[in-house]
A = this chain, B = another copy of it.
Amino acid sequence: MDFRLTVLGTASAKPTAARHQSAQVLNVHGRFFLIDCGEGVQSGLYTNRISPMKIESVFISHIHGDHIFGLFGLLSTMGMISRTQPLTIYAPPSFGPLLKFFLSYYGEGIKFEIRHHPLSMKEPEEIYATKSLSVSAFPLNHKIETFGFIFREKDPQFNVKKWKIDEYSLTLTEIGCVKRGEPVRRVLPDGGVLELPVEELGYKPFEPRSFAYCSDTAPFPEEASWVRGVDLLYHEATYQKTLEDQAQARFHSTTLQAARCALEAGVKKLVIGHYSSRNLNSKDYENECRTLFPETYAADDGDVFDIPLVKLG
């Protein structure tokens, strides 16, 4: 039951010898989601032993080159290694012509279907769901249309406490209620109603986990409420705290702004990246964030963040 973020690239617009551009892989229960796709993404995947074949879908926050220029090589490679599974790319509408042009030049070897799911929501909206996972996208505040993403495990079915089945002689219908997290109601012989709360009869087997990705963005009023309470928040922190003017002019965030978002949102852990090429020592960024939000971790390329499963009951 993995829930693991691998940060492939932590440079901002200008890559360096040690930092590729934005790209991350989230592994949820063995399904691999690629989030942004800067140049060098393939190198990052191979270095971290993640086969491009495993990538189930791709989430592109915006079409600035440092978030997308690795995609075309990756799609070509997927073609070369004979992928057949369709690939959905969640991306702004502006991505459409780019994809079309790419396929017109380089589509010959690509035998799998590529579906572009355009994003245009004004507030968080579910874009992907399985029985156990839901992904929502929401708008960010950048120079061009840009989206963040939240990956949430769905609430699991309740486990029924075995000894309560005997104690209350629960019927199959009543067991079904408990599993769905509903209370059991019984009409008693005297016409009264016995309501047994779900917590009496069952328990959540684990706490659902969540990850939010706030790519390039300046702060905006709804941000903290939209990522409220996630276990892990990735937030860009392009600039150090003294460069707030530059961050504002370029629709980016400083370390303290990222930390403030984490604090207001009450997240458990903050991961930062997308460092300006002015200073590539990620510890300097981390230290600034920690003055406001101690649970900050400045990512370097290849860093892995596991969200452990917390078993309950």
A interface residues, Cβ below 8 angstroms from B = 13-17, 20-21, 39-40, 42-43, 46-47, 63, 65-66, 69-70, 72-73, 76-77, 80-81, 97-98, 101, 105-106
Residue in contact with A15 in the complex, picked from B16, B42, B69, CB distance below 8 Å: B42
- Contacts A13-B80, A43-B43, A63-B105 aside, 6 further interface pairs with beta carbons under 8 A come to A17-B43, A39-B69, A40-B40, A40-B43, A69-B72, A97-B105
The oligomer's copy count stands at 2
| B65 engages A43 (CB within 8 Å) | no
Give the residues in chain B near A14, CB-CB below 8 Å: 42, 77, 80-81
Give the residues in chain B near A39, CB-CB below 8 Å: 39-40, 42, 69-70, 73
**What's the least CB distance linking A52 to chain B, in Å?**
9
Which 8 A-B pairs have CB atoms at the shortest separation, nearest pair first?
Answer: A17-B46, A17-B47, A39-B73, A69-B73, A65-B76, A15-B42, A101-B101, A16-B46
Determine which residue in A43, A46, A66, A81 has the highest number of CB atoms from chain B within 10 A of its CB, and name it. Answer: A43
Give the residues in chain B near A69, CB-CB below 8 Å: 39, 69, 72-73, 76
A-B contacts, 16 listed (Cβ < 8 Å) = A13-B76, A13-B77, A13-B80, A14-B42, A14-B77, A15-B42, A15-B46, A16-B46, A17-B47, A21-B73, A39-B39, A39-B70, A43-B43, A65-B72, A69-B69, A69-B72
